[in-house]
Amino acid sequence: MITRPSDFAALQRDGTSRSAGLVSVRVRRTDLDVTRFAFSTGRKLGGAVVRNRTRRRIRESLRSMDSSLVAGWDVLVIARPATAEAPQSAIAADLAQALARAGVLAPEPRP
């Protein structure tokens, strides 16, 4: 997890954005051996219960693609208001699409 204010500032300053439907991601290359994530769920999503549920659903989507993640990235996942009511499969698909565009997901091998 990204927790330090200096890491967020570096992500805002040096990161690039990619988006897909329900989510937007801001990514920054690091020299770490892991990929770290942070989540932004604004009040437009709803109350605290809705925002927390949305973060849990995004984390679950990330768990399912854990083996495909490339190490060495800081990623800020920004949930758009429609994410709160979207089905889990749509969240996972849009998140995978945004991460693939950013280069955080390894390309799937072609058969």
Render pLDDT for 84-94 as a digit per residue (tens, 0 to 9).
999 999 999 99
Report the Cα–Cα distance between both ends of the chain, in Å, rounded: 34
What dihedral do alpha carbons 109, 33, 62, 42 form, nearest 10°?
Answer: -130
In the chain, the amino acid numbered 39 is F
Phi and psi angles of residue 35, each rounded to the nearest 5 degrees, phi first: -105, 125
Whether residue 100 is predicted with pLDDT greater than 70 in this model: the reply is: yes
Domains of the chain by range and CATH?
5-102 (3.30.230.10)
Rg (CA), the chain: 14
Render pLDDT for 63-75 as a digit per residue (tens, 0 to 9).
999 888 999 999 9
Cβ–Cβ under 8 Å, residues 88 and 60: yes
Render pLDDT for 12-50 as a digit per residue (tens, 0 to 9).
899 999 999 999 999 999 989 999 999 999 999 999 999
pLDDT of residue 93: 94
From 79, 63, 70, select the one nearest 29 (Cα to Cα).
70
pLDDT of residue 89: 95
